[in-house]
Amino acid sequence: MPNRTKKLDAILKFGMMVGQNPWFAFLIGFLVGQIDRVNFVRDLSDAEIAIRLSARQTAIWPRDPFKATVRGVNMPNTYTLVRAICSESTPICVSLDFDHAEETPWYQEVLLPSASYAKDAVTAAQEESEALWKEMDRTLDVYRECRRLLKEQSPERRRELEFYMRTAEAEMKKISRELEELNRQMKRVTGEDSAADPS
For the stretch 85-126, pLDDT in tens is 998 888 899 999 998 899 999 999 999 888 877 766 556 667
Report which of 155, 159, 128 is spatially closest to residue 146, judged by C-alpha positions. 159
pLDDT tens digit sequence for 147-185: 888 877 788 888 888 888 999 999 999 889 888 877 776
Distances (CA, A) of 111 to 44, 102, 133, 145, 159: 12, 10, 24, 40, 45
The H-or-E segment that residue 122 falls in is: helix 115-150
pTM exceeds cut of 0.85: no
Rounded CA-CA distance 82/79 in Å is: 5
The CATH architecture that domain 4-109 belongs to is 3-Layer(aba) Sandwich (3.40)
- Let me know: does 27 contact 81? Beta carbons within 8 Å: yes
Residue 8, pLDDT score: 92
The stretch 179-195 carries a mean pLDDT of 64
Residue 23 has pLDDT above 70, yes or no: yes
